[in-house]
Amino acid sequence: MEIRLLTIRALFAFSLSSLAFSSFAGVGEGQELYNSFCTICHGPLGEGQTMGKPLTDGMANRLSDEDLLAVITEGRSGTGMAGWGDSFSDEEIFDMATYVRALQGKAGLNLADDNAGISDDPAVLAGEDVFNGRAGCVNCHTYRDQGGSVGPVLDGLSGRLPAAALSEALLNPSASIVSGFGAKIVEQEDGTQIVGRFRNDSELAVQLQSSDGRRWVTFFKDRVKLIIDSTESLMPDVYASLNALEQQQLLAFLNSL
């Protein structure tokens, strides 16, 4: 038991120190690993197979982040679930766990320090109001356990993006789309086009998350005309619509995360 606790604590310390970005960028890498090693038992969408339980049912959803990491790292005694701790790095295990959370419709693992508070800088506080209000960023992005899941988690953002790169991301969202947060366009037989965040793919179907983040929709490939990758970010060009003061305040808030 002591060894197990030390192992998982080490994973948490590792993810907080050098993987603060993993919820942001690890979904794509986790999907590649999941598709290569996990689908044979758990299915391409986490639906479960003869050899493996579902990863999207109530029991799996109730696992804490620590327990999820432990299961992937150490396996489950008395079951066919093997431990991958000797085969993959801490980063790869964290990415796989992050992708499992994505299959469950969650934003990812949240290992942020809950005791860390928002700055009392007036510009930061005003920027948080802009983020949650006029700009509507909170509808798509999560920070400190609140917000949407269409866009990347923003906890630790200031440690991932320098100020210049953050400004560029706000001014031109489609210039660089974070891995795991790309969009696909589905054209139905009547010509209607639906755009959403790409979540899952299988031989028979593709699954998109609606742009408002509220629904996951499955499209069967033999019932639609076309499925293509979108080169445009789902992030709306809201930043340009803000006045100069609001832009400064929003930047101050994002740089405080």
**218 in any annotated domain:** yes
In this prediction, residues 65-94 reach a mean pLDDT of 85
In three-state form (DSSP H/G/I as H, E/B as E, the rest C), the secondary structure along the chain is: CHHHHHHHHHHHHHHHHHCCCHHHHHHHHHHHHHHHHCHHHHCCCCCCECCECCCCCHHHHHCCHHHHHHHHHHCCCCCCCCCCCCCCCHHHHHHHHHHHHHHCCCCCCCCCCCCCCCCCCHHHHHHHHHHHCCCCHHHCCEECCEECCCCCCCCCHHHHCCHHHHHHHHHCCCCCCCCCCCEEEEEECCCCEEEEEEEEECCCEEEEEECCCCCEEEEEHHHEEEEEECCCCCCCCCHHHCCHHHHHHHHHHHCCC
Quick one: 225 and 143 in the same domain? no
Would you say 213 and 140 are in contact if contact means Cβ atoms under 8 Å apart? yes
Quick one: 45 and 70 in the same domain? yes
Alpha-carbon gap, residue 157 to 162, rounded angstroms: 9
> What average pLDDT does the structure give for the chain?
81
> Where residue 200 falls among pLDDT bands split at 50, 70, 90?
confident
**148 in any annotated domain:** yes
pTM for the whole thing? 0.53
Quick one: 154 and 190 in the same domain? no
Amino acid at 128: E
Quick one: 62 and 15 in the same domain? yes
**26 in any annotated domain:** yes
What are the residues whose beta carbons fall under 8 Å from the beta carbon of 236, sequence distance 6 or more?
173
**108 in any annotated domain:** no
Quick one: 202 and 218 in the same domain? yes
What is the domain range of residue 216?
183-229
**135 in any annotated domain:** yes
What are the residues whose beta carbons fall under 8 Å from the beta carbon of 60, sequence distance 6 or more?
46, 53, 54, 100, 104
What are the residues whose beta carbons fall under 8 Å from the beta carbon of 196, sequence distance 6 or more?
183, 184, 186, 208, 209, 210, 211, 217, 234
Quick one: 80 and 136 in the same domain? no
Quick one: 90 and 59 in the same domain? yes
Is the sign of the CA dihedral 193, 194, 197, 202 positive or negative?
negative
**112 in any annotated domain:** no
Quick one: 43 and 126 in the same domain? no
pLDDT, residue 192, reads: 93
Residue range 57-75, pLDDT digits in tens? 877 877 888 888 888 998 8
Quick one: 56 and 137 in the same domain? no
Give 25 or 105, the one with higher predicted confidence. Answer: 105
Quick one: 225 and 245 in the same domain? no
Residue range 203-228, pLDDT digits in tens? 999 999 887 778 888 999 999 999 99
The CATH number covering residue 71 comes to 1.10.760.10
Quick one: 165 and 187 in the same domain? no
Quick one: 193 and 212 in the same domain? yes
Give 204 or 91, the one with higher predicted confidence. Answer: 204
Residue of 62, 126, 55 whose CA lies nearest to 96: 55
The CATH number covering residue 203 comes to 2.30.30.100
pLDDT, residue 28, reads: 67
Q: How many domains does the chain have?
A: 3
